[in-house]
């Protein structure tokens, strides 16, 4: 499994994370949906992203994210039949590492890439991408390739 994206998209995610600090930001990664999306060796390339509002109430937004469901439904409809679609999701971890929380695991679907960026203030500390195991018990770290280079 691999997630690829451009430096420009990576910078957009960092800006969203910094702007949302100390709350978590979230959004969808969009790109061609591969025929083998569910295969364990699949690779996805995000070619666009869409930022979302964090739908939790303010007191919860520092430690959790939720994609705004109406926004998500509209986005899925927008890409219906185009061959492109949501290949993953990103969110930020303010002041904590880019490892998924137990809550992240509970809410994750299989196949999708879950990109997490750690952020402290305006500084993005790094990022890792994760894919949920089929049985839902754990995340597997997948290579994250930015403009052809692993980070
Ligand atoms: Zn998280």
Task: Tell me how far the alpha carbon of residue 81 lies from the centroid of ligand 1, in angstroms.
Answer: 30
Number of domains in the chain: 1
Residue 39: its pLDDT value, please? 92
Domain span at residue 17?
A: 2-150
The string of pLDDT tens digits covering residues 13-44 is 999 999 999 999 999 999 999 999 999 889 99
Task: Provide the CATH number for the domain around residue 90.
Answer: 3.40.140.10
pLDDT tier at 121 (50, 70, 90 boundaries)? confident
| Mean pLDDT (whole number) for 109-135 | 94
Q: Between the CA of residue 9 and those of 94, 99, 118, what are the distances in Å?
A: 19, 20, 16
Residue 33: its pLDDT value, please? 96
The string of pLDDT tens digits covering residues 53-93 is 999 999 999 999 999 999 999 999 999 999 999 999 999 99
Tokens of 84: 């492109």
Task: Tell me how far the alpha carbon of residue 49 lies from the centroid of ligand 1, in angstroms.
Answer: 18
Q: Between the CA of residue 44 and those of 88, 100, 107, what are the distances in Å?
A: 9, 20, 21
Residue 114: its pLDDT value, please? 98
For the chain, the 3-state helix, strand and coil shares in percent, each to the nearest 5, are 20, 40, 40
- pTM of the predicted model, to two decimals? 0.96
| Average pLDDT of every residue of the chain | 95
Tell me how far apart the alpha carbons of residues 126 and 14 are, in angstroms, rounded to a whole number.
9
Task: Tell me how far the alpha carbon of residue 116 lies from the centroid of ligand 1, in angstroms.
Answer: 7
Task: Tell me how far the alpha carbon of residue 115 lies from the centroid of ligand 1, in angstroms.
Answer: 9
Task: Tell me how far the alpha carbon of residue 105 lies from the centroid of ligand 1, in angstroms.
Answer: 9
Q: How many other C-beta atoms lie within 10 A of the C-beta of residue 97? A: 11
């Amino acid at each position: 499994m691999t997630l690829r994206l451009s430096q420009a998209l990576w910078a957009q995610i960092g800006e969203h994370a910094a702007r949302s600090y100390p709350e978590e930001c979230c959004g969808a990664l969009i790109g061609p949906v591969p025929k083998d999306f569910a295969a364990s060796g699949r690779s996805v390339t995000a070619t666009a992203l869409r930022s979302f509002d964090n739908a939790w109430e303010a007191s919860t937004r520092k430690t959790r994210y939720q994609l705004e469901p109406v926004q998500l439904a509209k986005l899925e409809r927008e890409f219906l039949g185009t061959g492109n679609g949501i290949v993953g999701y990103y969110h930020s971890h303010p002041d904590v590492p880019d490892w998924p929380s137990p809550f992240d695991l509970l809410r994750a679907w299989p196949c999708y890439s879950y990109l997490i960026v750690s952020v402290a203030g305006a500084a993005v500390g790094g990022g890792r991408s994760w894919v949920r195991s089929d049985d839902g018990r754990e995340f597997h770290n997948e290579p994250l390739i930015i403009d052809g280079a692993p980070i």
